[in-house]
Homo-oligomer: A and B are copies of this chain.
Amino acid sequence: MPKPLPAMDTSAPVGCAPLASGVMAADDALAVALRLKALADPIRVQLMSMLLAEPEDGVCTCDLAPAVELSEATVSHHLKQLREAGLVEGTRKGTNVYYRPQAEALGALCRVIDPSC
C-alpha cells in the first residue's frame, strides 16, 4: 500500500546534519524531502526566482500570475506550498499580498544537501 506522507511543521529552516555526514534518520529525511518537494515544481522554481529578483519589496499574486500564465487560484496554491515550507513569506499591504523569499531557509536546505558546502 502506498505510504501517506506524514505531516510535520516545515515553517522553520531545516536544521539537521548534512546528507553526507552519515546515514540519515527517517524523520530527518522527511524534513528534508518535504522542503525539497515544495520547490520541486517548475512553476514554483520560476516563482522563487521572481521573488529573489525583488527581495526587498516582494511581488504580489496578481503580478506573478500573468508572469507564469496561470490563474491566480493556481499561483496562490503554489505560494501556499512555498509558504508552508518556510521558503517565502507574504505580508499584506492594502488589498495586495507581497511575497518575499526567505533566503535563510533556502540556504539551510542547501547546506543539508550539498556534500561540499
Chain A positions 96-117 with a Cβ under 8 Å from a chain B Cβ: 101, 103, 106-107, 109-110, 113-117
Query: Taking the full assembly, how many copies of this chain does it contain?
Result: 2
SS of A interface (majority): helix
Count contacts on A: residues with CB < 8 A to the other chain.
38
With a CB–CB cut-off of 8 A, which chain B residues contact A45?
A: 19, 24, 29, 32-33, 36
Distance from A43 Cβ to chain B, minimum over Cβ atoms (Å): 7
Q: How far is the CA of A46 from the CA of B26 in the complex (A)?
A: 7
- Chain A contact residues, CB within 8 Å of chain B: 5, 19-20, 22-24, 26, 29-30, 32-33, 36-37, 39-46, 48-50, 52-53, 67, 101, 103, 106-107, 109-110, 113-117
